[in-house]
Amino acid sequence: MDRKRLLRNPLIWILAAFLLFYAFSVLLDDTRGYEEVPTSRALEQLNNGNVKSAILQDKEQRLKLDLNNPVDGNKTRLITQFPAGGSSQLVQTLINAKNMTGGWKTEVTQESLFVTALLYLIPVGLVLVLLMWMMNNSQGGGSRVLNFGKSKAKQLSKDMPKTTFADVAGANEAVEELYEIKDFLQNPGRYQALGAKIPKGVLLYGPPGTGKTLLARAVAGEAGVPFYSISGSDFVEMFVGVGASRVRDLFEQAKQNAPCIIFVDEIDAVGRHRGAGLGGGHDEREQTLNQLLVEMDGFDSRGGIILIAATNRPDILDPALLRPGRFDRQIPVAAPDLSGRKAILRVHSKGKPLGPDADLDSLAKRTVGFSGADLANVINEAALLTARHNGQLITAEALEESVDRVVGGPARKSRLISEKEKKVAAYHEAGHALAAWAMPDLEPVYKVTIMPRGRTGGHALVVPEDDKELMTRSEMIARLVFAMGGRSAEELIFHEPTTGASSDIEQATKIARAMVTEYGMSAKLGAVKYGTNQGEPFLGRQMGHQPDYSLEVAHEIDEEVRKLIEVAHTEAWEILSQYRDVLDELVVELLDKETLQRKDLERVFATVEKRPRITAFNDFGGRTPSDKPPIKTRGELAIERGEPWPPVVEEPEPTPVGTAPGGSDLPGGPPHGSGETPGPNGSGPQQPHPPAWQAQQQDQAAPPQPHAPGPPYYGAPPGWTPATAPGGPSGAWSGQQPSTERPAEQQPEAQKEVQRSIDSDPQDGKR
């Protein structure tokens, strides 16, 4: 602790005050030098005539004696206490004493009113000072007492670790949006020339661990303007009005340092939907939220302040907080896809010694659904495991084990399991693996193990080859078959089920009920959603479902759910019965090795054939499906022709905002060629766009063509000519070449087929 903080600590001053008080008490003590003796001993000296002088202190009930001759060695001054009511007798004894040459006197102490009050006020004052210091310290008021209403936001300093956009991977769209805000703050002239206004607020929302706070730190590291960081819970305290006062103080500081950025982490702590609670009454959070709404876009709001907020629960935020003008941009930060996971793993593995067998691309395929924080934890766990075994390189085995630890917890190798229970677990997991392998619409089985982890006794893992967001009915029934494979194996081999299938039954029931009540995959009940969200006053949104159908319909829903599970159960039973020898062979290897990888499963399941898709949704009522197959996408056609897909395209130089090829020749256009763009002083250097922006622009744009001087063509098709050209309706721009695009009837058949597939795909607009 440094000297300044030590001197600001009130405990030090309180201790110093006590020491000073003790020193004065010792110095002003009038009993120093006297030896305390019993009353009988003092009376004996009076009766023997050995007292030279005496002082009787009536209020303190003390008697001080100065002796003629020392007693008990060298004691010449004695002091004793006498009981209340004995002063009159003691006075008579003093009168009758002999040889008292110094005489005796009586002292009656009378303290002033000021001293009496001071003796009472000093302890009370010390206690009050201590309480105020404790409250001030708990509320973060600095050196000022009761400073509750001041903002607790922390301003980014140069000493803090700097994070940039280069440290962010797997969130290219979010980086692009935030990069534009950073670029607007640094180069406002480019955007103001087009009449653009800077967004007032940006909301980052998504599951935990996807990098929302990391993105905010990257903005802070690259913004070049004051950056304030605060948590949503810092606004709400135990005192009424503190939250609103802190919001006012925060924005007052921001206005004095505009332009600047304010980052509020976990804004759902203060931005929860108003009216939540019993009776929808007003509370402290609502008062804080109202003040935040006014500061963001109120009557006297001023520009130059950008609010960036992050939350995991955007559904419970107040609608007034989410409207344009407050949070103009709402950026989802979802779990990364395959390419994003590859990039994240490369970022977190930078600087770590990887072995030659460590394949990050395979690890990215293995970790479907992992967030950025999960992937960082995987790399860190692999490094810790390598250090635990005194290794020098992080191997593929360490990465594989770290994934299992993150998903299921550490392996319980010391757990003692009986041979019978181990055999049951092996058949259970082998049933899962075999049922999944035989289903045509399920992801390939990656691993099966009977090594207990966490609360599980083993698991069979299926890993999709790519990221999927849509599932067909046959794929969901295949998942039901996979879930019922373990129970079917127990019933087939041991003639009775065990409690180990409880989680499998729970998952199967959840999938089947969702198929019937949410996805409309029941031919009997049709495409109807059963059950509505039930409002919950404490959350401000919904919690659970409330039935809005009759008991007869509920009975039919239960019957359809049971029927789906029975179909899957029967399918799994038939698979295991047909390949019983393969099941036994797999169990033997599981008991021997405990864990089997994909290459082992391919060898064991070499004779297993895929089952026919007998569970497809084939009841459409009077609606007969078309026999015409769906169109082929551009990628499918390219693969059929043997061409690489996606095609390799050279990255063009980015075009600055506000300029276009040939912009200097536009009538009335500002001559800002040579890579310069309008700025605060009329021109400025071209600002490069981030790689994510280039990649997205490249994917969405048409194939690059040589540009000739001409008008801006943002989003226009090739060969587009404006209605009015410099030379009149039939004129052309300087240097413009005629269109080389052929009419539709002259295009190759493959190209027209691709065009039809793009125009007729109804899912393109939805996705």
Interval 316-335: pLDDT, tens: 888 888 988 888 889 999 99
- pLDDT for the residue 458: 85
> Are the CB atoms for 719 and 741 separated by under 8 Å?
yes
Mean pLDDT of 216-234: 84
Cα dihedral 432, 437, 439, 445 in deg (nearest 10): 80
| Structure tokens, 679 | 């700025």
363 lies in a domain?
yes
- The rounded distance, in Å, linking the Cα atoms of 40 and 142 is 61
Known binder of ligand: residue 555? no
Task: Answer with the one of 350, 378, 407 that is the final residue of a domain.
Answer: 407
SS3 label, residue 22? helix
577 and 453 in a common domain: yes
Whose structure tokens read 């007693």? 71
Secondary structure tally for the chain: helices H, strands E: 25, 18
The 3-class secondary structure across 78-121, one letter per residue, is: EEEECCCCCHHHHHHHHHHCCCCCCEEEEECCCCCHHHHHHHHH
Known binder of ligand: residue 529? no
Q: How confident is the model at residue 601 (pLDDT cuts 50, 70, 90)?
A: very high
451 and 309 in a common domain: no
Q: Which of 203-217, 313-327, 353-367, 733-747 bottoms out in mean pLDDT, i.e. has the lowest?
A: 733-747
**What residue type is assigned to position 502 of the chain?**
S
Range of the domain at 557: 417-533+550-605
360 lies in a domain?
yes
Give residue 595's Cα distance to chain centre. 34
Express each pLDDT in 105-134 by its tens digit: 877 776 667 767 777 787 788 788 777 777
499 and 403 in a common domain: no
Over its C-alpha atoms, the chain yields an Rg (Å, rounded) of: 42
- pLDDT for the residue 602: 92
What CATH code is carried by the domain that includes residue 364? 1.10.8.60
315 and 184 in a common domain: yes
Is the pLDDT higher at 482 or at 287? 482
310 and 232 in a common domain: yes
What CATH code is carried by the domain that includes residue 500? 1.20.58.760
| Structure tokens, 208 | 């935990």
31 lies in a domain?
yes
Q: Which of 219-223, 254-258, 617-621, 677-681 bottoms out in mean pLDDT, i.e. has the lowest?
A: 677-681
595 lies in a domain?
yes
427 and 384 in a common domain: no
Catalytic residue among 176, 381, 400, 429: 429
101 and 220 in a common domain: no
Phi, psi for residue 618 in degrees, rounded to 5: -120, 15
Is 429 a catalytic site residue?
A: yes
313 and 165 in a common domain: yes
The mean pLDDT value of the chain amounts to: 77
Q: What angle do CA 542, 548, 551 make, to 5 degrees?
A: 135
Task: Answer with the one of 605, 627, 645 that is the final residue of a domain.
Answer: 605
Known binder of ligand: residue 212? yes
Known binder of ligand: residue 207? yes
45 and 22 in a common domain: yes
- The rounded distance, in Å, linking the Cα atoms of 81 and 60 is 8
Nearest CA among 442, 437, 478 for reference residue 614:
478
Known binder of ligand: residue 428? yes
C-alpha distance across the termini of the chain, in Å: 58
What CATH code is carried by the domain that includes residue 105? 3.30.720.210
* 254-to-149, 151, 180, 296, 679 alpha-carbon distances in Å: 16, 11, 21, 12, 25
pLDDT at 267 over 70: yes
**Beta carbons within 10 angstroms of residue 53's beta carbon:** 15
Known binder of ligand: residue 632? no
Express each pLDDT in 475-517 by its tens digit: 999 999 999 999 999 999 999 999 988 999 999 999 999 999 9
Q: Is the pTM of this model over 0.75?
A: no
Extract the runs of DSSP E, i.e. beta strands, from 273-384.
305-311, 329-332
pLDDT at 148 over 70: no
| Structure tokens, 688 | 């490069």
Known binder of ligand: residue 208? yes
In sequence order, which residues have a C-beta less than 8 Å from that of residue 309 and are 6 or more positions away? 201, 202, 203, 204, 263, 264, 265, 267, 271, 327
> Are the CB atoms for 224 and 186 separated by under 8 Å?
yes
SS3 label, residue 204? strand
- The rounded distance, in Å, linking the Cα atoms of 727 and 202 is 46
Phi, psi for residue 382 in degrees, rounded to 5: -65, -40
pLDDT at 671 over 90: no
Q: Which of 157-161, 227-231, 381-385 bottoms out in mean pLDDT, i.e. has the lowest?
A: 157-161
Phi, psi for residue 262 in degrees, rounded to 5: -115, 130
- The rounded distance, in Å, linking the Cα atoms of 95 and 333 is 99
Total domains in the fold of the chain: 4
Known binder of ligand: residue 569? no
213 lies in a domain?
yes
507 lies in a domain?
yes
% of the chain with per-residue pLDDT over 70: 73
402 and 303 in a common domain: no
382 and 322 in a common domain: no
150 lies in a domain?
no
434 and 391 in a common domain: no
680 lies in a domain?
no
- pLDDT for the residue 269: 85
- pLDDT for the residue 309: 93
Q: How confident is the model at residue 220 (pLDDT cuts 50, 70, 90)?
A: confident
Task: Answer with the one of 407, 442, 465 that is the final residue of a domain.
Answer: 407
